[in-house]
């Protein structure tokens, strides 16, 4: 059964649908602005936040500072900040979790484009480097190199950082399995690897231990 408003001639279903559409438009506009703010800060390697996350405080760091700055000129963010400050919203999407989710989304999107570029070029080189982070966990940075051939423009080389991997075995054998798992995850063929570079070269020399370089076919 559909109820009608006799004065306006509109059904309650139609009014509800219009209200839902308005909310969707509003939240899309808000999230679009937040995504671009985070993209701007991440692209320039700027910290998003610190321990202070209060509106109006000059020490609330870059993310909230950018939101407040743009809100001075943008009606969408101006209204959103007003509603967040007055506690009209149970979820305002300005907290740490949404920032991390957007960062993960951007990282995945960029990584997928890099992998697609490498797969399109077919042959690639891989560069690895291990370093401990603040928690003393070794992180393996992975960089891929390749060549793109453009008709009429010749060849163009590229080099991209792809991701960090937590590793708990930095021997040649341990790094070998880390590389194999990485390649398997993104569909990179071992036989298409045409070059390898490593830091801590003594780990990769072999002798009586495993040599990842030898196992991967580059003797």
Per-residue pLDDT tens over the stretch 120-133: 988 999 998 888 87
β-bridge mates for residue 193, sequence order? 124
pLDDT digits (tens, 9 = 90+) for 29-52: 999 999 999 999 998 999 888 877
Task: State how far the Cα of 121 lies from the Cα of 163, in Å rounded to an integer.
Answer: 19
pLDDT digits (tens, 9 = 90+) for 152-168: 777 888 999 999 888 88
Buried residues in 11-44 as b, exposed as e (16+ CB within 10 A): eeeeeeeeeeeeeeeeeebbeebbeebbeebbee
Task: State how far the Cα of 198 lies from the Cα of 166, in Å rounded to an integer.
Answer: 16
194-212: average pLDDT: 59
Task: State how far the Cα of 110 lies from the Cα of 93, in Å rounded to an integer.
Answer: 22
Query: H or E stretch including 64?
Result: helix 61-71
CA torsion sign, 119 to 120 to 121 to 122?
positive
Cα dihedral 69/71/74/75 (nearest 10): -170
Contact predicate 12/4, CB 8 Å: yes
Structural domain spans, the chain? 12-94, 112-215
């Amino acid at each position: 059964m559909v109820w009608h408003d006799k004065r306006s001639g509109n059904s309650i279903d139609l009014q509800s649908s219009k209200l839902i559409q308005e909310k969707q438009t509003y939240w899309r506009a808000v999230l679009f602005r937040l995504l671009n703010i985070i993209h701007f800060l991440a692209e320039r390697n700027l910290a998003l936040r610190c321990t202070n996350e209060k509106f109006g405080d000059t020490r609330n760091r870059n993310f909230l500072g950018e939101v407040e700055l743009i809100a001075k000129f943008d009606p969408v963010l101006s209204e959103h900040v007003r509603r967040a400050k007055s506690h009209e919203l149970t979820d305002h999407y300005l907290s740490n979790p949404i920032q991390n989710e957007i960062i993960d989304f951007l990282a995945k999107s960029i990584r997928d484009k890099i992998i697609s570029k490498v797969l399109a070029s077919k042959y690639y080189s891989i560069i690895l480097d291990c370093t401990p982070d603040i928690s003393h966990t070794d992180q393996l940075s992975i960089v891929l190199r390749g060549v793109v051939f453009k008709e009429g423009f010749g060849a163009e080389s590229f080099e991209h950082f792809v991701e960090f991997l937590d590793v708990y075995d930095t021997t040649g054998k341990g790094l070998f399995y880390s590389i194999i798992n990485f390649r398997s995850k993104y569909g990179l063929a071992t036989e298409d690897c045409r070059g390898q570079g490593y830091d801590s070269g003594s780990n990769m020399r072999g002798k009586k231990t495993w040599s990842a370089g030898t196992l991967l076919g580059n003797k």
